A and B are shown apart, each in its own frame.
Chain A
């Protein structure tokens, strides 16, 4: 079963990540996910200030804006998709991720399967 682990980093008032985790912490985690043979895909996202939003309005016109900016205390910083047997194991992996610490949180969602 595939689960997506959404990494929500806690940020301060200026939108800067407050995590105490080092680059090495993330490397260690990344390596452990890959060594366990459960890694499907995953990326770390660039800073939230680099985000661009596009909407298509009623007339079919595109509206492109910069942002979103951090309105909440947590911003999506990246994700993993892992393939593990059940939710408990997915939660274990999410809990081990540096993104779960220092005020951040991990949201675990099963990837929908339309095969059955």
Chain B
């Protein structure tokens, strides 16, 4: 309950005081006060408003104590109040988290800081939790978050929602941040575990908030759909020993029907009423996989067509790689392999373990076992997590023979 309330409270206080640090400190203090008072006195009828009043009172106290701070903030506070009158103290909290999304994802912040700040400020994770999420020491993450907050203050990065005219330019950055949190959860880039389910779930939670705040933005809907449809397969993606299990070998009865049923209609919404967006198309691909009873009956022609659309929207060697795999499923491994070999000179694929892994798979299906073994060895050298390496070692053993 506090986690949800924390983001709301923080956003409202940032709006009012224009200072992320101050807002964070008094938010924490208000929640601490609640933990002391509520068990004894009972939960107030409007917990959010109680927290807001407490936090605001603490902020004002702090400003009075710190004259220099007060002088600087007085200006901001006047500006903030002029821009939007403060909510009635007994009212419900206005939802100002959207501003915070855009601030945390501002392009003037280093890309690596954006996801960290979003998890800290919007998902309500503590700094040690964010540090664990990115597998860096807590002190390092603490410094990064301080640096990002200083940058917001000294550059005066505004806390505001972009105008409708600016939105198409700024929203992709916000979606990218949320999706990068998800992808780190879905396929950890390093560490012992293949998946970081907590991170994937945080990203979905953030996307749900974002969709509530921007219900008309189809790419927001598409992103939420995409993440739900991929997350639905989480339990089937690892074997009993934590091993990676690829799509063709997954036990589809272990896919999460509830998430698929939630995500599928969102795909339709995301693709209706205009040219398709990046996330909507990817969600459509995920939906085709999720709907199929098995790999053989998957609608591969449709998936290839969607990859073609995706290629038009955002050309990338990784999209070409995935398309080649889909072509292999539609037209046979030789056709796919020809496409993969044409990509061999792509610098971005040279360090990307799924590329040699896909080659190894197609080569082994063509019976070219020595070449498949070489490809799996290349992939092993590049793989970042132990479950991925274990999977590749198993495939290597299958083709390498005695």
Contacts and interface: CB of A to CB of B under 8 A. Distances in A.
> Chain A interface mostly helix, strand, loop or mixed?
mixed
A87 B156 CA distance: 6
Contact of B71 (A85, A87, A116): A116
B68 A86 contact: no
A10 to B, nearest CB: 21
Contacts of B160: 86, 88
Contacts of A116: 68, 71-72
Interface string B63-79: 00000100110000001
Nearest to A84: B156
Interface in B301-330: none
Interface in B150-190: 154-158, 160, 162
Interface residues on B, range: 10 to 19
A110 interface: yes
Interface residues of A, number: 9
B155 A110 contact: yes
Interface string A38-70: 000000000000000000000000000000000
B157 A86 contact: yes
B174 to A, nearest CB: 14
A87 B158 contact: yes
A1 B72 contact: no
A87 B106 CA distance: 10
A109 to B, nearest CB: 9
B246 interface: no
B214 interface: no
A111 to B, nearest CB: 11
Contact of A87 (B79, B108, B162): B108
A88 B158 contact: yes
A2 B67 CA distance: 23
Contact of B154 (A89, A91, A110): A110
A87 B162 CA distance: 13
B224 to A, nearest CB: 27
Interface string B98-120: 00000000101000000000000
Nearest to B71: A116
Contact of A110 (B71, B106, B156): B156
B155 A87 contact: yes
A87 B158 CA distance: 7
Interface in A70-116: 85-89, 91, 110, 116
Nearest to A116: B72
A1 B156 contact: yes
Nearest to A1: B156
A85 B79 CA distance: 10
Contacts of B108: 87, 91
Contacts of B79: 85
A87 B72 contact: no
A91 B156 CA distance: 12
Nearest to B107: A91
B14 to A, nearest CB: 14
A24 B155 CA distance: 31
Residue among A1, A88, A89, A116 with the highest chain B CB neighbour number at 10 A = A88
Interface in B271-311: none
Contacts of B106: 87
A91 B160 CA distance: 15
B156 A86 contact: yes
Contacts of B156: 1, 85-87, 110
Contacts of A89: 158
A110 B154 CA distance: 7
A1 to B, nearest CB: 5
B158 A86 contact: yes
A68 B246 CA distance: 58
Task: List 10 tightest A-B contacts by C-beta distance, closest first.
Answer: A86-B158, A116-B72, A86-B156, A87-B155, A1-B156, A87-B157, A88-B158, A87-B156, A110-B155, A87-B108
Given A85-B79, A85-B158, A86-B157, 9 more contacts: A1-B156, A87-B106, A87-B108, A88-B157, A91-B108, A110-B155, A110-B156, A116-B68, A116-B71
Interface of A: 1, 85-89, 91, 110, 116
21 contacts: A1-B156, A85-B79, A85-B156, A85-B158, A86-B156, A86-B157, A86-B158, A87-B106, A87-B155, A87-B156, A87-B158, A88-B158, A88-B162, A89-B158, A91-B108, A110-B154, A110-B155, A110-B156, A116-B68, A116-B71, A116-B72
